[in-house]
Structure 1
Amino acid sequence: MSTLSNNKSQGGKKHHSDEIRYAARSLFLRKQTIPEIEEELNVPRRTLYSWMDRDDWKALLRNESVEEAIQRRLTVLAEKEDKTDRDLNEIDRLIASLSKLGRARQIEINNAKLKAAPVDSDIVQDNRKKIEGAPAVVRSKNRKNKIKNDVSFLTEKDFKQKFHKNYFAYQVELANAKKYRNRDLLKSRQIGASWYLSQESSEDATLTGDNQIFLSATRAQAEVFKTYIVNLYQEHFDIELKGNPMVLNTANGPASLYFLSNNSKSAQSYHGHVIIDEFFWIHKFNELYKVATGMAAHKKWRRTLLSTPSAVTHEAYDLWTGDRYQKRFKRKREEFPGFKEMQSGVLCPDNHWRKIITLDDAEAGGCDLFDKEELKIEYSPEEFRQLFMCEFMDDTMGVFRLADLQACGIDTDIWEDYDPKADRPLGNLPVYGGYDPSRHRDDASFVIIAAPLKPGGKFRLVQKLHWKDKSFTWQADQIRQLTKRFNFQHIGVDTTGPGLGVFDIIKNFFPLAQPIHYSVNSKTALVQKAKSVIEPGRLEYPAEWTDFVHAFLTIRQTSTSNGGMTYSAGRTNSTGHADVAWATMHALIHEPMDTSRQSCSSVAFG
């Protein structure tokens, strides 16, 4: 029996051990309430109050500041696994109190600095007007004790002059839609949505003191927002921002900017405005969405979702179409706005404001960064519609399934043995390579996959390289340099057409290079091997590589001229697509179908 529960009973009265009293006092000093201690230690409330008064527990707290006391209590509540509504309300009240104390302390600091700073009084008065209700810190390059991430002197006018004047028309529309609590954005690639939301969120944090939470499939993808924010403040305001979370010292108290990966456990206790990036490419979206909406449960917090479309089987698809709302709340279906209406931005029956921005919409809104005709040459019609015209893919017709592919995406922080900046990124661990040549205008692709160390183990796709408009001798030389950094055991090369020239050079410095000549049999072997690796989750790749997933989704089963079956992705002699998928298959094929075999014999690809 535990010492803490070893209570002796004499005459019907419980006598608690010294350990119990010490434990109760310790919990009290950690800011647990008497009722909470009663529940945890099973000691009557009256007894606890008696101990508190007799031993003067409160005296032990008299040297503790108010902020320290609040932080202690917040720690206790944050550690509770099953938080009640009462606990959550107390957390919000404590955070609000802490913010008020922070603002008061900041005002004292600012006042002190204003008194000490040798500046013209007119400048001081001008800066006082910049922050409503609080004096501003006068910035000086010669100031020794600068406040970290100090943005307290920035005003709405500063952002209008530096940020807003650079917005395209659709970004202005997104800014006007801040009044909606839920914003769902379906967009073309590379139109500046993440760039805009980085500005909107950092401006909002600076001017209001509100927390901002950025969620993505991986930490690296979430920190794209951080990079934008750091660069914007450095360029426009000469402010160097640091930290993750990045805590801004604003005129309204501290504002925290969190950059998080798709890991619900790390995000449970945060609260603020939430942005979920590329939500149509996040695995287990519903689980993340539940956590994210919980972090923004209060009516003051916005939830903003943005993404390029993936496939109709993704978990978020029914949220976008409104089917989730229709099923849960309505017996009779309500009419949801159509594609064209959403291109103008519209509030839907489920109180979500939805907006679609295609490449055409972006160009009409002033974006001149694209060459549309060039893109149509580089991508198949299906790829172009999905990547730039906001059309979802029907992966029910494809060979590979979105759910299987996304289940293989991970946050590569767990790869402790991989350092891409090192001379030998994987040391001497064995790797496989796969090369897919360029045809006419598409990229050539090369992938590097860390091989399993035991039969049936996992492959890790550590690098993918794209080479455009480069000669086959240049590409072969790039592969030569890679063989000096990685311990290649296999390099598979498509020699059906233009890849033959690359292969002829590669085999001179890497004799283990394997030619792959496409035929019905060889394509079947490539696809079936890839399926046998992907479907059971034996492949890992960085979850932010949405182009990798897209490449596999474009592969279809088609019929040959003589009625047979084969696989394709719109490839011809003059065009090539899904290149990174084929390059991956060229690498994976080195492992035999029977994974119990320790070594691989040559596969015939005639």
Structure 2
Amino acid sequence: MAKRYSDDIKALARTLFIKRVTVPDIARETGVPRRTLYDWIEKDGWHDLVKTDDIEEAYNRRILTILNSKDTLSPAQLNEIERLQTLLAKHQKIQGRIAAVTLPGDPDPIQMQAHHLQTSLPLDADHQAAVKAQHNAEVTGGRKKKRQKNDFSGISRDEILEKLKSKLFPYQWAEFQKLLNDPDNEKFRRRFYLKSRQIGWTFYCSAEAFALALLEGRNKAFLSASKNQSRLFKRYILAFAMEWFGVEVKGGDEVTIHTDHGPVTFWFLSTNSSTSQGPSGDVYLDEVFWIRDFEKLNKLAGAIASHKHYRKTYFSTPSVKSHDAYFLWSGEEYQKVQEKRPHLPTFEMPTKKQLQLGHAANDGMYRKVITIHDAMSGGCNLFKLSDLEIENVPDVFRQLYECEFIDDQNSAFNLNQLLGCAANDDRWHGFKPGAARPYGNRPVAIGYDPSRTRDWAEVVVLAIPTTAGGRFTLLERISMKNENWQFQAQSIKELCDHYNVVFIGIDCTGPGNGVFEQVQNFYPSATPIHYSVDAKTRLVLKAQAVISKDRIRWSADYVDIPMAFMAIRRQATGSGISYVAARDSKIGHADVAWAIMHALQVEDLTADTPNDKKTTVIISEAA
């Protein structure tokens, strides 16, 4: 049985290697076998760290090598970057350089990306930008003139605009200039952006808010579904402050900076923040089409931005037209008000061309649609369109990148019920991430969905309810891409070493069979699930029952989980109804949803209590 070593042991071994300690000596010092050390050295590229006598240059080079290696980083790579940044910050402190921009006790963008990384949809452009922005800030900050913490006084308007423009794509800069040309806030007091994924709009809004705070001296509030998501705005702003002006910003969820206009406060709030009604300033609300209780959130935003000189900015990728936010986007909410107040102008929804250019309608809302094509034509060079078209079937591509709403008439799940399963606080009772036994000896179930041609393999760990009708809880999630069967099976084995696993459900259709055979070597009672009409029906019916009864929880940071379930649709067959999620050779969409459904098979379809002895699923073997 392979032994698992802690991150601290691995970090110590890496540090000794950087100091040119020999492998035999490192093995004696750490107790790690030479074979394992050589594997770490080769796999993680430790040689890159000792090719130069400049330690700081070595750290920076390795960090940038990892960041540029691929679009989405693995948890191991994220952990290595975090360790390297910590070592770099300590080295800079020793040399009298600046401290890192992270705040004590607060997660940095690396940790935040690790939390959002496990997704079957490519949602990481904003997070990757945050990581790179923070790293650049740490690299260049030491060469800037030292200023007092949180002090931005004496910075000229031209310098602010120059720094901002250098970080934006042309289409983003053009959008910012509209605000500069509307000093009285006549057109842009309320803005609503319907956007493609991965175009960096959270990055843009963070940069816009920071620059405007310095230029106008107005407070800013950021509202998100979860605390981690709202803190992503914070990480961007802290990185901008250090990179642009060499200013270290201190503060928690309420940060006050000093400008030529006086003090300006940033609030980073989630939907359940007890302080949400206190702030006053411009408001930014992100991913509103994926937020539960949008009406409640919108009322909070209205209270914060009541004054006429404050703006409200909504932005999101589309979900379904039945979501509460759609009534605001479509103008239906205004029309209801106008019916009772005939003196108000009749609403006219902007045309498709007007939405593409951005249009202030007669309901006082400025609307703009930004598809992937609009972003690319506006200078965004983050995409290779042909790859995305190969990876996504047409209807999925249109929803993800061309801002089309999901047709939920045939969806197997209800969006509002799914959003109700998302918890703002994922500090589950009795769960201690990073511990040798994160969940003690409490029982858990594992679900695995295999990777296909271009998609992700997903592994989930669900805490099993111990009382009748109790809740399942998503404790851990692993996403893997381009990894062989042995690696994927080993990942499941490591979970078995750390949890009291009483059930493993594995999709054995096609590529999953290899992983299943590997898992059987260390967990003989693993349950094979052979996909068929009957099997998929059973999976979906069980998930529907659990979700509709509010019997499962996952972190609100996993915004892709509701998306994955919504992608599963009913489809008529010759013998009845089946369920599909565009699972063909080009896409394995909804992987995390299927993985969760596999784990839920630990419980019988009609059962209200867990069945720890359950090891088989009775299903049809039909293709």
TM-score, normalised relative to structure 2? 0.71
1:474 to 459, 474, 487: 487
Q: Say whether residues 1:370 and 2:383 are aligned partners.
A: yes
Alignment partners' CA distance in 1, 2:609 and 2:360: 58
Q: Say whether residues 1:187 and 2:195 are aligned partners.
A: yes
Which residue is 1:411 aligned to?
A: 424
Q: Is the 2:346–2:362 contact (alpha carbons within 8 Å) kept by the matching residues of 1?
A: no
| Higher Cα radius of gyration | 1
Per-residue CA deviation, residues 354-375 of structure 1 (Å, 9 max, x unaligned), is 1110000000000110111111
Q: How does 1:59-74 map to 2 (within 5 A)?
A: none
Per-residue CA deviation, residues 274-314 of structure 1 (Å, 9 max, x unaligned), is 00011111100011101111110000111001111111110
Which residue is 2:176 aligned to?
A: 175
Q: Is the 2:348–2:361 contact (alpha carbons within 8 Å) kept by the matching residues of 1?
A: no
Distance of aligned partners of 1:258 and 1:251 in 2 relative to their CA distance in 1, 3 Å threshold = same
Alignment partners' CA distance in 2, 1:160 and 1:142: 19
Which residue is 1:448 aligned to?
A: 461
Instruction: Compute the displacement of 1:140 (Å).
Output: 11
Q: Say whether residues 1:359 and 2:360 are aligned partners.
A: no
Distance of aligned partners of 1:256 and 1:418 in 2 relative to their CA distance in 1, 3 Å threshold = farther
Q: Is the 1:435–1:447 contact (alpha carbons within 8 Å) kept by the matching residues of 2?
A: yes
Between the two proteins, the alignment pairs up a number of residues equal to: 465
Instruction: Compute the displacement of 1:207 (Å).
Output: 3.2
Instruction: Compute the displacement of 1:436 (Å).
Output: 0.8
Distance of aligned partners of 1:523 and 1:296 in 2 relative to their CA distance in 1, 3 Å threshold = same
Q: Say whether residues 1:313 and 2:322 are aligned partners.
A: yes
SS at match of 2:447: strand
Distance of aligned partners of 1:464 and 1:338 in 2 relative to their CA distance in 1, 3 Å threshold = farther
Alignment partners' CA distance in 2, 1:486 and 1:527: 26
2:515 to 502, 523, 545: 502
Unaligned ranges ≥5, structure 2: 1-141, 183-187
Distance of aligned partners of 1:398 and 1:422 in 2 relative to their CA distance in 1, 3 Å threshold = same
Q: Say whether residues 1:382 and 2:395 are aligned partners.
A: yes
Distance of aligned partners of 1:468 and 1:327 in 2 relative to their CA distance in 1, 3 Å threshold = same
Which residue is 1:329 aligned to?
A: 338
Q: Say whether residues 1:160 and 2:165 are aligned partners.
A: no
1:422 to 425, 428, 435: 435
Moved more, 507-516 or 588-597: 588-597
Alignment partners' CA distance in 1, 2:544 and 2:145: 62
Q: Is the 2:305–2:311 contact (alpha carbons within 8 Å) kept by the matching residues of 1?
A: yes
Per-residue CA deviation, residues 521-572 of structure 1 (Å, 9 max, x unaligned), is 1111100000011011111111232211111111111122x33221111223
Q: Say whether residues 1:256 and 2:265 are aligned partners.
A: yes
Alignment partners' CA distance in 1, 2:475 and 2:486: 24
Q: Say whether residues 1:208 and 2:246 are aligned partners.
A: no
Q: Name the % identity.
A: 42
Alignment partners' CA distance in 2, 1:185 and 1:407: 24
Which residue is 2:86 aligned to?
A: none
Moved more, 541-550 or 210-219: 541-550
SS at match of 1:254: strand
Alignment partners' CA distance in 1, 2:555 and 2:211: 30
Per-residue CA deviation, residues 65-92 of structure 1 (Å, 9 max, x unaligned), is xxxxxxxxxxxxxxxxxxxxxxxxxxxx
SS at match of 1:266: coil
Amino acid at match of 2:483: K
Distance of aligned partners of 1:185 and 1:506 in 2 relative to their CA distance in 1, 3 Å threshold = same
Per-residue CA deviation, residues 14-67 of structure 1 (Å, 9 max, x unaligned), is xxxxxxxxxxxxxxxxxxxxxxxxxxxxxxxxxxxxxxxxxxxxxxxxxxxxxx
Q: Say whether residues 1:604 and 2:613 are aligned partners.
A: no
SS at match of 1:589: helix
Q: Say whether residues 1:432 and 2:445 are aligned partners.
A: yes
Instruction: Compute the displacement of 1:252 (Å).
Output: 2.4
Amino acid at match of 2:174: E
Q: How does 1:478-493 map to 2 (within 5 A)?
A: 478-493=491-506
Which residue is 1:44 aligned to?
A: none
Which residue is 2:311 aligned to?
A: 302
Q: How does 1:197-276 map to 2 (within 5 A)?
A: 197-244=205-252, 245-263=254-272, 265-276=274-285
Alignment partners' CA distance in 2, 1:381 and 1:369: 20
Amino acid at match of 2:604: P
Which residue is 1:590 aligned to?
A: 602
SS at match of 1:464: strand
Per-residue CA deviation, residues 347-400 of structure 1 (Å, 9 max, x unaligned), is 011111111100000000001101111112222222211111100002122110
Instruction: Compute the displacement of 1:581 (Å).
Output: 0.9
Which residue is 1:55 aligned to?
A: none
Per-residue CA deviation, residues 428-481 of structure 1 (Å, 9 max, x unaligned), is 332211111112111111112122122211111233322111111121112222
Amino acid at match of 1:209: G
Distance of aligned partners of 1:529 and 1:458 in 2 relative to their CA distance in 1, 3 Å threshold = same
Alignment partners' CA distance in 2, 1:413 and 1:553: 22
Q: Is the 1:264–1:291 contact (alpha carbons within 8 Å) kept by the matching residues of 2?
A: no
Alignment partners' CA distance in 2, 1:265 and 1:156: 35
Higher relative contact order (CA 8 A, sep 6+): 2
Moved more, 515-524 or 321-330: 321-330
Instruction: Compute the displacement of 1:264 (Å).
Output: 5.8
Alignment partners' CA distance in 2, 1:232 and 1:428: 45
Q: Say whether residues 1:283 and 2:283 are aligned partners.
A: no
Alignment partners' CA distance in 1, 2:325 and 2:521: 49
Q: Is the 1:263–1:288 contact (alpha carbons within 8 Å) kept by the matching residues of 2?
A: no
Distance of aligned partners of 1:340 and 1:155 in 2 relative to their CA distance in 1, 3 Å threshold = same
Alignment partners' CA distance in 1, 2:570 and 2:277: 43
Alignment partners' CA distance in 1, 2:353 and 2:465: 49
Alignment partners' CA distance in 2, 1:356 and 1:142: 41
Q: Is the 1:489–1:512 contact (alpha carbons within 8 Å) kept by the matching residues of 2?
A: no
Q: How does 1:429-578 map to 2 (within 5 A)?
A: 429-560=442-573, 562-572=574-584, 575-578=587-590
Alignment partners' CA distance in 2, 1:142 and 1:199: 21
SS at match of 1:559: strand
Alignment partners' CA distance in 1, 2:226 and 2:415: 18
SS at match of 2:602: coil
Amino acid at match of 1:586: H
Alignment partners' CA distance in 2, 1:225 and 1:151: 18
Amino acid at match of 2:285: I
Instruction: Compute the displacement of 1:243 (Å).
Output: 1.3
Instruction: Compute the displacement of 1:189 (Å).
Output: 0.8
Alignment partners' CA distance in 1, 2:610 and 2:451: 33
TM-score, normalised relative to structure 1? 0.73
Moved more, 383-392 or 169-178: 169-178
Which residue is 2:361 aligned to?
A: 348
Instruction: Compute the displacement of 1:229 (Å).
Output: 1.0
Instruction: Compute the displacement of 1:271 (Å).
Output: 0.7
Q: Is the 1:412–1:541 contact (alpha carbons within 8 Å) kept by the matching residues of 2?
A: no
Unaligned ranges ≥5, structure 1: 1-138
Distance of aligned partners of 1:293 and 1:454 in 2 relative to their CA distance in 1, 3 Å threshold = same
Per-residue CA deviation, residues 335-354 of structure 1 (Å, 9 max, x unaligned), is 21123310100101111111
Alignment partners' CA distance in 2, 1:430 and 1:250: 54
Which residue is 1:90 aligned to?
A: none
